[in-house]
Amino acid sequence: MQAKINLAVGAFLVLGLLGMLFLALKVSNLMGASVPKGYQVYALFDDIGGLKPSSAVRSAGVLVGRVQSIDFDDQRYQARVTLLLDGNVKFPKDSSAQILTSGLLGEKYIGLQPGAETDMLASNDRIVMTQSAVVLENLISQFLYNRSSSEPSGSAPTAGQSDSLGLPGLK
């Protein structure tokens, strides 16, 4: 009788453990959060939008790393994003990082576009070319600004901002 109870309780707990494993691995991103043999690089952004730590870093749509941490640089008044990239993947020193959105309701991720140099990014290097997240209010004000100033002369977008419709462009 006691043996039967022990068996049932053991099975119950094992079932619970399996359920928890399912929730951890398939449902949430526990495994995905750790990238093996990675190296860190960082990038500065004017506005990170809704980018969060452990957001994805993709290149050509493929996951190549994760956002490790996001801090505020109070010398330059910019966001300093630390990326953990997969050790098997190398990027040229002049690669660019943009903050993109996946899907309409989707979340922010970082897209890496490779550059043309032969030297590769090493650990603790900085990605110089960055494109901030699209912020809706800025978009609207730009649109209105461009419309109102399109008669006299279309003024060039200020440094550090994307062009009028927020299309990705290099800084």
Partner 1 sequence: MSTPTPPGLRTRVESLGGSFLSVLEQAGAFLLLFLAILRRLPVLFARPRLVAAQVHFLGNYSLAIILVSGLFVGLVLGLQGYYTLRRYGSEEALGLLVALSLVRELGPVVTALLFAGRAGTALTAEIGLMKAGEQLSAMEAMAVDPVARVLAPRLAGGLIAVPVLATLFSAVGIMGGWLVGVGLIGVDQGAFWSQMSGGVAFYDDVLNGLVKAIVFGLVVTQIALYFGYSARPTPEGVSRATTATVVVGSLAVLGLDFVLTALMFSGF
Whole-angstrom distance, CA of residue 1 vs CA of residue 110: 58
Least distance to partner 1 from the beta carbon of 57, Å?
A: 13
Six token digits for residue 46: 């004017």
Nearer to partner 1, 104 or 156 (CB): 104
Nearer to partner 1, 4 or 37 (CB): 4
Which run of H or of E encompasses 101? strand 96-101
CA distances to 4, 45, 140 from 129, rounded to whole Å, are: 65, 9, 24
Nearer to partner 1, 28 or 150 (CB): 28
Where do contacts with partner 1 occur on this chain (CB under 8 A)?
Answer: 2, 5-6, 8-9, 12-13, 15-16, 19-20, 22-24, 26-30, 32-33, 54, 56, 102-107
Least distance to partner 1 from the beta carbon of 106, Å?
A: 7
Nearer to partner 1, 1 or 159 (CB): 1
Which run of H or of E encompasses 3? helix 2-22
Bridge partners of residue 129, in order along the sequence: 96
Least distance to partner 1 from the beta carbon of 65, Å?
A: 14
